[in-house]
Amino acid sequence: MTETITSRPVRPAPAPPALGGPGLFTVLLGAALPLIDFFIVNVALPTMGADLAASEAVLELVVAGYGVAYAVLLVLGGRLGDLFGRRRLFLGGMAAFGLTSLVCGLAPDAWSLVAARVAQGASAAAMLPQVLATIQATTAGPRRAKAMGLYGATAGLSMVAGQILGGVLVAADIAGTGWRAVFLVNVPVVLAGLLLAARTVPETRSARPEPVDVPGTLLLAGALLTLLVPLTEGRAAGWPLWTWLSLAAFAPVAAAFWAVERRADRAGRTPLVPPSLFALVSLRRGLLLILPFSIGFSGFMFVVAVALQQGAGLGPVAAGLALAPLAVVFFAVSLAGPRLVARYGTRVVPAGAVLQGVGLGLMILAAWRYWPGLGVVELFPGAVVCGAGQALQLPVIFRIVLSEVPPGRAGVGSGVMITTQQSSLALGVATLGTLFLSLTPATGMRDALLTTLLVQLGAVALTGLLSLRLPRRIG
C-alpha cells in the first residue's frame, strides 16, 4: 500500500509593517516635542523667577530636573518599547507628556514646577526612544536613509526652534499666561499627535524581548545622577560637600554598571546596555562624536540666551530670533544631507565641522567687535555658516550610530544613542553654563562670552578630528 504524502504550502513570513508618510510625520512630531521643551525655557527663566519668586538654584532645577529625568530613563524607555510594543509606549509617553505639560503650565509655585518638570522628563523618556526604534524596524534602504535624515533635521531644528518659540510665547503673553504658555502650548499639539499616532503609526516590538534589567537600570540611573546633579546644581548651591562626594562616586558607580552589564551579556541575557553592541564600529565611533557636538551645542544655546538678554539688553523675542538664521539654514542644508552622503560618504562630517568652526569664529568676532550691540544683523553671517556646518554633522552622525544595529535591538540602540545625546546636552548646560556664569562677575559678560565660545570652538575641533576615523560609507 502506498502512502500519499500531501505537503502544505509554506507561507512566507509576514513583511514588517511599513511606516508611511503620515506615520513618519507623527513620530517626528514626537521627537520634536521633548527637544523643544529642553530649550524652550532658556529665555523664559527670568520671567519665571520674577513671577514665582524663585532663586537661581531652583530655576536651574527647572532645567536640570527635566534633563536628568529624561537622560536617566531613556534606555529603559527603549527596552520597554521592545518588550511591550513601541507604538503603545509612544502613545502612553505622548499622553503623559501632554498631561505633565499642563501641570507645568498650572504650577502654583516653583517647587511644584520642578516636580512637574521631572515628571515631564520621564514622560519624554518613554516616548522618544520609540521614534528611532520604529523607523529602524519599519524602513529600509533609501527610505530609511531619508527618514533618518529627516529625524536629524528635526532634532537640530527643534533645539533652535525651542529657544525662538520660547521668546515669542513669553512676549506674546497669550491671555495673560506669560511664561506658562511655553508649557501649555504642548497640550493641543499632543492631542493632535495622539489622534494621528493612533491611525498612522504601526505597532512593532522585538521578536525576542527580554525582561527589564533591574540592576543595570538602577546602576545607570545612579551613575548619571551622581554626575549630572552636582554639575548642574553645584555653582548655584556654592559647591557644598555633597556635590564633591557625588562627583567622586560617579566613577565607581559607572564601573559597577559596566561590570554588571558585561556579566549579563556573557551569560546570554540582554542587559540594559549590551557591551557587545559596542563591538559595532559605527555605533562606537558615532557615539564619541555625539559627546562634544551636543555638549557644545547646548552650552552655546544657553550662554547666548543669557548673554543677549542680560548683557546685550534684548527682549526674549529678539534674543530668540537672533538665532533664527541658524535654524533656517540648518533645516535647508540637512534636507540635502542624504544626497551629499550618497556622493561623498561620511567625509561630509569633517567638512561640516570646518564650516561650524568658521561660523563660530565669525560669531566670536562679532561679539568682540560689537558688544553690547549684538542682534540678528551682527550674528547673521556666523549663524548662517554655523547652521550649515551643524546640518552636515548631526543627521549624518545619527545615521552612522544606528546603521549596523539589527532591528531586534532597535529600541536598545536608540535608547543608548539618545541617552548619550541627552546626557551631553545636560552636561553642556552644566559645564559651559557654569563656566560662563562663574567668569561673568570677574571679567565682565563680554569676556566671559568670548571665553566660553572659544572653549566650544575647541569642542568643534575635537568633533572634526574624531570624524576622520569614521567608516567611509554608511551601511
pLDDT at 5: 44
| Residue 211, φ and ψ in degrees, nearest 5 | -65, 160
Look at the block and give the residue holding cell 499622553. 95
For 474, the 3-state DSSP assignment is coil
Using only the alpha carbons of the chain, give its radius of gyration.
Answer: 22
pLDDT in tens, the chain (475 residues): 444 444 444 444 455 577 888 889 999 999 999 888 888 887 788 788 888 888 777 877 888 788 888 888 887 888 888 888 889 999 999 999 999 999 999 999 999 999 999 999 999 999 988 888 888 888 877 888 788 778 878 877 887 788 788 888 888 888 888 889 999 999 999 999 999 999 999 888 777 766 778 888 889 889 988 988 888 788 878 889 999 999 999 999 999 999 998 998 888 777 878 888 888 888 888 888 888 998 888 888 888 888 888 888 887 778 778 888 888 888 888 878 778 877 888 888 899 999 999 999 999 999 999 888 888 889 899 999 999 998 888 888 888 887 777 776 766 777 788 888 888 888 888 888 888 888 988 888 899 999 999 999 999 999 889 888 887 776 5
pLDDT at 475 (0 to 100) = 58
**What global pTM score does this model have?**
0.80
Among candidate residues 440, 439, 314, the one with its CA nearest the CA of residue 374: 314
Q: What is the pLDDT of residue 118?
A: 92
Angle between helices 394-402 and 410-443 (to 10 degrees): 140
Q: 116-122: long-range contacts at Cβ-Cβ below 8 A with a sequence spacing of 24 or more?
A: 117/61, 117/62, 117/65, 117/66, 117/69, 118/65, 118/66, 118/68, 118/69, 119/69, 120/37, 120/66, 120/69, 121/65, 121/66, 121/67, 121/68, 121/69, 121/70, 121/73, 122/69, 122/70, 122/73, 122/96
Encoded amino acid at 202, one letter: P
CB 99 within 8 A of CB 116: no
Quote the CA–CA distance of 128 and 133 in Å, as a whole number: 9
Whose grid coordinates read 505597532?
Answer: 203
Distance of CA 375 to the CA centre of its chain: 26
Contacts of 443 (CB under 8 A, 6+ apart): 451
Neighbours of 240 (CB within 10 A): 11
Longest Cα–Cα distance of the chain, Å, equals 103
